[in-house]
A and B are shown apart, each in its own frame.
Chain A
Amino acid sequence: MRAGHGQRWGEFELHPDMIEAQRGVDRARSGAQLALTIVAILLAVGAVVLVKLGVGGTGGSRLILFGALFVVGYVAGHIAIRKLAPGAEPAFFPAAGLLTGLGFAEIYRMTPGLAVDQSYWLAIALVAFVLTLFFIRDHRQLDGFTYTIGLLAVILLLLPVLPGLGATINGARVWITLGPLSFQPAEIGKILLAIFLASYLNRKKELLQMAPRRVGPFHLPQAKDLGPLLLAWGVAMAVLFLENDLGQSLLYFGLFVVMLWVATARPVYLLVGFVLFAAGAVFAYKTVSHVEERVAVWLHATSTRPCLANGDTIACVYGGGYQSAQGQFAMATGGIGGTGLGQGSPQDIPFASTDFIFAAIAEELGLIGSIGVLLLFGVLVGKGLKVAVEQEDGFGKLLAVGLTGILGIQAFIIVGGVTRVIPLTGVTLPFVSYGGSSLLANYILLALLVRISAGPAPSRRKPLLASPAEGPPAPPPADGAPQQPAGDAPATQVIR
């Protein structure tokens, strides 16, 4: 049994003081997480109650259910982390919880019906979060099935293309429908993609680092080593052209290039990746009218023209730019302090619950709310990268980078699109937007980040770290057992 531990973490070297110190840190982190979780619960429930007060109307019993879901769900999540992943980075769960709460309040405010759906999905997502922590007791478990996971990822990403199974909703073929359920398999696919890339790149990084040829200041790898890069580009382009989904395409390719660069430290991959994506994007701009339209809207969304041929009538915005312009107007209406929850009219923005949830929050909570959301993502990304730096195994580092990258890039793509920093492409704002697949996938992703930050689950360390109260009974000395190996002595002493 103990021999088994010898392979892990070098725990044999842990001094009892260090173990005590570690447990102290765990307790402190757990306390911080509890405090933050309570803040998140209060803010989330408060926001939903304010929405209710702002909008008025009936249906107060739902409010109690929603409030109970937040309290029970988040407390359960907190306890699960405490039990299954003590010492986890304490900011992850409360930050995500607060984002979900703010998004939920806005969804409830705009379309109460969707909020009911979202509450079911949140419950499922939190269960999935706990189950992930329970089953993935060590992130290195995921390192074993590189190509299976890779294949599964590509299948999930491209599944909606299949006739009969795939469905086009709102212009993008990213859904599969099974009976009454529709699901975006790519949401899970992107996590698998990050796991595959972390595993693959960790194994192949030396190979990919070899750069025998020099072109200018750049070292070029061998042509065959560029294969995966081209494959990833192919998948991204397939998503773009077959599924008509710009945002996801950008996300996958961005994720791949970032992880490749982190793994190999070769800037040339950034350059090649950028050139490849730019080429694909330009080609898409020239050939897919949908893409050209998005760029035109990006440039002209709020420039006006008269709606009617003659004179002093109200103006219209650029043809396809209605949604984008409504988002801008909503954010402008919000100003610094916002209109107040339930007091604005974010429901005027098409798809305000999904793509434009950021604009809805910005309208009703103002600059304070929009900056708050950005800061929460900043916390998630910053802590995620800190966790990546702290990992000692390459797989763990790359996986943390990948998972964090998904959150950061996706948030940038959609918030940048809504604020017209970049052309608008429809992806969800992680944790915030309405959408079951997205919510479920992001809480699984979060569970993996929590797991990586905490290290292996405590049950396997139990004999080593168990306290007298909860540890297995120590063998009575009267048994005259032979002296344990010297290396184990401190641990035995701890037990006593």
Chain B
Amino acid sequence: MNRQIRRLGVAMVMLFVILFAAVNYLQVYGASGLANNSANPRTIVQSFAIHRGEILAADGRTVLAKSVDTGRKLRFQRRYPQGPLYAHTTGFFSLKCGISRLESTYNDYLDASSNDLLGSTLSDLILNRPKRGASVITTIDPKLQQIAFQELQRAAPNGGAVVATNPSTGAVEAMVTIPQYDPNELVQPNLRRQAHACTRLTDAASDPLLSNATDQLYPPGSTFKLVTLSAALENGMTLQSTVPNPSELPLPQTRLKLHNFGGEHCAGGAPRITLEEALIESCNVAFGGLGLKLGPQALFDQATAYGFDRHVPFDIPFSEGHFPAPSEFNDRQPAVAFSAIGQFDVGANPLAMDLVTSAIANGGVEMEPHLVREIRGPDGQVLKSFGPSVFGQPISPQTSRDMTRAMVEVVDSPNGTGSAARIPGVTVAGKTGTAQTSSGAPHAWFTCFAPAENPQIAVTVVVLNGGNLSSDATGGRVAAPVARAVIEAALGRR
């Protein structure tokens, strides 16, 4: 029997060696894999033990996101006191729906894991209090944001977006999108409801979690003529250069013809038209011909100089504008004409177009857009500040002056399409756009800056599918009044 008992001992030792190996695997070798397992609630719960920093508006007082101490297991819960208004700027920090936008981008500051916060975290540890994160102070002006939202909602109840930036710094001062959602739904204490809200919002056909100002791309329509005109001026033409002005433009390789808006004949039916007049009247025939003359490469180069199809650094996800690569136009000449007036496969959103307008306003120098002014530690000291940063120079100062002159005429000239943006005592430079869509009524655009002689604010508006005017909508009628209201507010006239 003793032999069997000794063998049993050996077998037992072997079983325990297996367990020994297993605990070593779980606790040492495989531990980091398990710790980073996306379903591991410990990591998530730990992140809720931190007094996460606030997200504030530019005034440093308006609270966009804050943490409240619930005393429960998931101790610090996020609250968004402004409701839906800043949802697409702050994003959310949700147990069931994840983390997005500024909450995600500046997570290391907000949750105090950044090395810049080592000092204060250490003192929190010594004083045995929850780690406190840094506060993120955005560039958003709460007054501007509020007015932009009110005006946009009136014009575009079914969808649209507004972006307002300071052309000389790139600071985003207002960013509004419709439809909205309330991020508080995604941080509600009832986790089942939280998960349900997440599913509902992610599955909704209107994509409320996406921002129409920065995520989606729409045909920019005639606002893209700013890019086409820039390309012409950068390639040796002037505002007074003329192009043929037929009543309709026969297109190569096809029997299709390009028409003007409403089938009109620009410049009173004159055979040729200056580029300035073509912009003022937003003459499709003239710009289609101009695009064919410049060719896809010149248009593409100008668009990318403005930031299309390039990486533009921004604090939250940003879909830069898109212009098809020149190779896509081989044997597709009509597409070049359509692209020159912002149709075909050209795509943009208000921020992408606002970068174009801002560059024109800023003497041809394009600033990187930014949403965050500074980061302050829990004790109020500034840990990091974000100054203006140049993205590039898409056009020369001369082109910038010429473009500004033409854009002022778009608003001020009796023939101009942007007269709805006129503000007594302020020179507004703008450009309308009415983009044909496959989905019904056109998207109405307006992009502008003011005052033209000393630009302080650039505003771009898109009203999707005609907004409250439906198929009667044009950029001048629906979008320009929204932009005007934002400019008035920015210049202290409201």
Which residues does A use to contact B, with CB under 8 Å? 258, 261-263, 265, 302, 304, 307-317, 325-326, 328-336, 345, 348, 362, 366-367, 370-371, 374, 377-378, 381-382, 385, 388-389, 394, 397-398, 401, 405, 408, 412, 415-416, 419-421
Contact = CB atoms under 8 A, between A and B. Distances in A.
Contacts of A309: 199, 202-203
Given A265-B3, A309-B203, A398-B1, 15 more contacts: A302-B37, A308-B97, A314-B38, A315-B39, A329-B37, A331-B31, A332-B32, A333-B31, A367-B23, A381-B16, A385-B6, A385-B12, A401-B8, A416-B19, A419-B22
Contacts of A307: 96, 195
A328 B8 contact: no
A454 B32 CA distance: 48
A335 B203 CA distance: 39
Contacts of A313: 96-98, 198, 202
A371 B15 contact: no
Given A367-B24, A421-B18, A333 B39 contact: no
A155 to B, nearest CB: 28
Given A302-B37, A332-B31, A370-B27, A310 B203 contact: yes
Contacts of B390: none
Give the size category of B's interface with A.
35 or more
Contacts of B20: 371, 374
A336 B26 CA distance: 10
Contacts of A366: 27
Majority DSSP secondary structure for residues of A touching B: helix
B5 A389 contact: yes
A311 B207 CA distance: 13
A366 to B, nearest CB: 7
Contacts of B37: 302, 304, 315, 325, 329
B202 A314 contact: no
A392 to B, nearest CB: 11
A302 B34 contact: yes
Interface string B1-15: 111111011001101
B96 A329 contact: no
B101 to A, nearest CB: 12
18 contacts: A307-B96, A308-B97, A309-B203, A317-B39, A331-B27, A333-B31, A335-B28, A336-B27, A348-B45, A367-B24, A374-B20, A385-B8, A397-B5, A408-B12, A415-B19, A416-B18, A416-B22, A421-B19
A331 B40 CA distance: 12
B27 A377 contact: no
A316 B195 CA distance: 12
Given A308-B199, A374-B19, A389-B2, A329 B34 contact: yes
B144 interface: no
Nearest to B104: A312
A427 B4 CA distance: 27
Contact of A412 (B5, B15, B23, B38): B15
B39 A314 contact: yes
Contacts of B44: 314
Contact of B16 (A304, A331, A378, A398): A378
Interface string B30-60: 1111110111111011000000000000000
B299 interface: no
Contact of A263 (B1, B15, B100): B1
A371 B21 CA distance: 10
Contacts of A261: 4
A332 B27 contact: yes
B198 A371 contact: no
**Interface pairs A-B: 4 shortest CB-CB:** A332-B34, A419-B22, A315-B38, A310-B202
A31 B214 CA distance: 78
A412 B31 contact: no
B95 interface: yes
Contacts of B96: 307-308, 313-314
Nearest to A408: B12
A389 B18 CA distance: 25
B472 to A, nearest CB: 36
Given A314-B95, A408-B15, A419 B39 contact: no
A335 B199 contact: no
A381 B13 CA distance: 9
Contacts of A335: 27-28, 31
A296 B16 CA distance: 24
A304 B5 contact: no
A291 to B, nearest CB: 22
B150 to A, nearest CB: 31
Contacts of A331: 23, 26-27, 31, 34
B116 to A, nearest CB: 26
A348 B27 contact: no
A385 B5 contact: yes
Contacts of B40: 325, 329, 332
Interface in B122-176: none
B5 A308 contact: no
Contacts of A389: 2, 5-6
Contacts of A382: 9, 12
Contacts of A258: 8
Contacts of B23: 331, 362, 367, 370-371, 374, 419
Contact of A262 (B5, B97, B199): B5
Contacts of A397: 1-2, 5
Contacts of A336: 27-28
Nearest to B30: A332
Given A313-B97, A332-B31, A335-B28, A419 B19 contact: yes
Interface centre among B13, B27, B33, B95 (most CB of A within 10 A): B27
B397 to A, nearest CB: 44
A329 B35 contact: yes
A311 B202 contact: yes
A333 B489 CA distance: 53
Contacts of B24: 367
Nearest to A373: B23
Given A302-B39, A412-B16, A262 B26 contact: no
A262 B95 CA distance: 55
A199 B199 CA distance: 64
Nearest to B45: A345
A381 B9 CA distance: 8
A69 B222 CA distance: 86
A284 to B, nearest CB: 22
Interface centre among A314, A315, A316, A398 (most CB of B within 10 A): A314
Nearest to A261: B4
A390 to B, nearest CB: 9
A338 B217 CA distance: 50
B45 A421 contact: no
Nearest to A322: B39
B49 to A, nearest CB: 10
